[in-house]
Amino acid sequence: MRARIHPMLEQLEKMLAAGRDSAMLRLTLGNGYLKEGRPEEAVRHLREAVRQQPDYSAAWKALGRALGEVGEVEEALCAYDDGIRIAREKGDLQAAKEMEVFRRRLEKRRSE
């Protein structure tokens, strides 16, 4: 039996099904699924967010987190690397710094 979906996520999924797809909607869905402890579903939406808008720093950060949570450490590190590069190119230094911290933590966890 499938776990009940949070009402907010249900509404967002309905928007997506109605054709209102966007990188922001995908990021919101991804973050919502992360919050609900469903990182596999988050990964699917976050991959689509960065596909739709490759310079979306927040989506790269969330994708790195989601991939780390599902155990895809190498992919998560790559997502953080891409996100850091993109954030720096855009001048989004705060996002770059945050991703650098998350990347270091993941590296540390991988080596333990």
Element at 40 (helix H, strand E): helix 39-52
pLDDT beyond 50 at 1 = no
Structure tokens at 47: 């991959």
62: containing domain: 7-111
Cα–chain center distance at 83: 10
Tell me whether residue 2 is in a domain. no
The pTM assigned to this predicted structure is 0.91
Tell me whether residue 1 is in a domain. no
Would you say the C-alpha torsion 9, 15, 19, 25 has a positive or negative sign? negative
> What's the pLDDT tens digit per position in 10-48?
999 999 999 999 999 999 999 999 999 999 999 999 999
Tell me whether residue 40 is in a domain. yes
Structure tokens at 70: 């599902």
Q: The CATH number of the domain where 84 resides is what?
A: 1.25.40.10
Mean pLDDT of the chain: 94
